[in-house]
Amino acid sequence: MNGKSGTNVHALDPLSRPVERNPGTDYDPDRFGGLRINRSAVERRAATLGARRTVKKRHQAAWLLRALTCIDLTTLAGDDTPGRVRRLCQKARRPVRPDLLDALGVTDLGLTVAAVCVYHNQIATAVQALHGSGIPVAAVSTGFPAGQIPLDLKLAQIRASVEAGAAEIDIVISREKALTGDWAGLYDEVRAYREACGEAHLKTILATGELGTLTNVARASWVCMQAGADFIKTSTGKEAVNATLPVSLVMVRAIRDYHELTGHLVGYKPAGGIGKAKEALTYLVLMKEELDRRWLRPELFRFGASSLLGDIERQLEHHVSGNYSARHRHPSG
């Protein structure tokens, strides 16, 4: 069945198999200690993703709607207020104008973003604003963004956020452990985070722009997955360099290898600097080609973004009307 503008509605149907959480494994440095990442080879492969036309025009609207459902709509600013968070949650509930959904023939799908991500102090506001929507609240934790606080305070932050209603916790790893090769220490730390989360899902932020090498990115990915991470995530959005295709390729291939070894599924979340719909489509193609269609859903793939939703809505309007509207008509919150 196609929508009024030729949208392939079946492309949006969720995959039926449920995703079981990654329980982690014992710490096993033999699985990653010998890894050496060839940056030139990674960059050549990544360049092929960004250079070619990713999605044909008649399928583009469906892929954009898919990307929309994988967004963690985020506000992590020092001037966040309850009013701003409530507006963001309202946009999360209704991410696309009703007239555009009607024109695309997808009104009945009830599309929303994947989650709303906030600081701890705004969890209660977000939970109240999203009540009944099925949209989870994610909270950054463990001394985000630098992570330079003691472990006991990090664990207390996680427990407090879960108690306040956060269903997902985005933690930052201790970069010093990765930079000094203390992989066992990093494993123990992330394992403690997983236990503190309880039923809340754990996303581990590697802060890849501060890890120095792609080899460190690959090893940190493996350690976090062994420790029980539900997602591995590129960045806080506060580093000088955030999500990039080469880094994403390394992390996604680590997910693939871990799945082939253990059978466990781990999600991926690029964050920071992804503000254009075209970029989002490239990341979806990356997931489909390097993994498979199971990773094209919010249970296993997220964008950490604040401005991406606005550009997706703008591109959908162009698909429907043939015209681009001004960017200020598509605020994200």
Q: pLDDT > 70: what percent of the chain? A: 90
Q: Are 71 and 113 in contact (CB under 8 A)?
A: yes
What's this model's pTM, rounded to 2 decimal places?
A: 0.92
CA angle, corner 274, sides to 300 and 167, nearest 5?
A: 40
**One of 72, 230, 233, 311 is an active-site residue; which one?**
233
Section 12-26 average pLDDT: 78
Look up 269 and say whether it is catalytic. yes
pLDDT score of 327: 55
- Give the model confidence (pLDDT) of 254-276 as tens digits: 999 999 999 999 999 999 999 99
Residue 143 — very low, low, confident or very high, per pLDDT cuts 50/70/90? very high
**One of 91, 230, 269, 311 is an active-site residue; which one?**
269
Look up 170 and say whether it is catalytic. yes
Token code pair at residue 301: 């793939």
**One of 72, 170, 230, 311 is an active-site residue; which one?**
170
Q: What is the CATH number of domain 32-329?
A: 3.20.20.70
- Give the model confidence (pLDDT) of 206-244 as tens digits: 999 999 999 999 999 999 999 999 999 999 999 999 999
Please state the domain extents for the chain.
32-329
- Backbone angles phi and psi of 170, in degrees to 5: -100, 105
Look up 288 and say whether it is catalytic. no
Section 89-108 average pLDDT: 96
